[in-house]
Amino acid sequence: MIHPLAGYSAATISDALDRIGRPGALLGLAPIADGVRLCGRAFTVRYVPAGFPPGTVGDYLDDVGPGEVVVLDNGGRTDCTVWGDILTAMAADRGIGGTVIDGVCRDVQRALGAGYPLYSRGRFPRTGKDRVEVAEVGGPVGVGGVQVRPGDLLVGDADGIVAVPREVEDRIGEICAAITASEDAILADVLAGSSLAAARRRHGYHLLQRQEASR
């Protein structure tokens, strides 16, 4: 089943989260290619620097369900990767919704060829094996400065990615609908000959994302 928020852009959802004063836009993470979209519930994995003897980078992908989004907290590290071609091939084959990494990935050609949604801080060829290890699967993680919990909704497009806590999804959907209606009306007015200032004033453009308590 397609989630109602899948029909909105990451930018619109970010504005809606601003309206209720909740963080959600994941800073520094971008898709490895434009033209992909992502929407699904978070399956979380947290990494820490490897101990001695080092642990493993994990076999968690066996437990990820179709449509879920793998969310990897590697502490923003850019010196070693936690996602590569085997994981991409398996995830694409099993219908996993995408991967979001607070860190970097490698073997991106396979993801590009498969059209697999992959968001990260960049690309780097060096493995994370013996450099990082899985500390926890299924707990809260920090990604791009935002806490993401298992089951939170991730929505991504060419602009980036946002996380929506489950308990505010319905409210965010209502706000997104209102924002979209206002922006569509502004566009229609401008294309009909209105000035931008008048159209924005008429439809409350500068208040669309303002926190509700201060409106």
**Model confidence pLDDT, tens digit, residues 89-136:** 999 999 999 999 999 999 999 999 999 999 999 999 999 999 999 999
Q: Which residues of 101-125 are buried (b: 16+ CB within 10 A; e: fewer)?
A: bbbbbbbbebbeeeebbbbbbeebe
Q: Which is higher by pLDDT, 1 or 177? A: 177
Reported as a single tens digit per residue, the pLDDT across 196-206 is: 888 888 888 78
pLDDT, residue 194, reads 85
**From CA 124, how far away is CA 122, in angstroms rounded?**
7
In the prediction, which pLDDT does 214 show?
47
Q: Where are the domains of the chain?
A: 23-164, 170-214
pLDDT for position 199:
83
Q: What average pLDDT does this structure show over 33-45?
A: 95
User: What are the beta bridge partners of residue 30?
Assistant: 120
- The pLDDT of residue 10 is above 80: yes
Residues 6+ apart with CB under 8 A from 173: 4, 5
List binding-site positions.
Answer: 84-87, 106-107
Nearest to 137 by CA among 54, 73, 67: 73
Report phi then psi at 198, rounded to 5. Answer: -65, -40
Query: Is pLDDT of 164 > 90?
Result: yes
CA dist 40 and 2 (Å) reads 9
Write down the residue that tokens 């298992």 correspond to: 150
Supply the CATH classification number for the domain 23-164: 3.50.30.40
> Binding site membership for Mg(2+): which residues?
107
How many angstroms from the chain centroid is the CA of residue 7?
14
pLDDT (tens digit, 9 = 90+) per residue, 50-88?
Answer: 999 999 999 999 999 999 999 999 999 999 999 999 999
Confirm if 137 and 60 have CB atoms less than 8 A apart. yes
Contact yes or no for 142/124 (Cβ under 8 A): no
Binding residues for substrate: 84-87, 106
pLDDT beyond 70 at 213: no
What pTM does this model have? Answer: 0.92
8: nearest Cα among 144, 148, 209, 172: 172
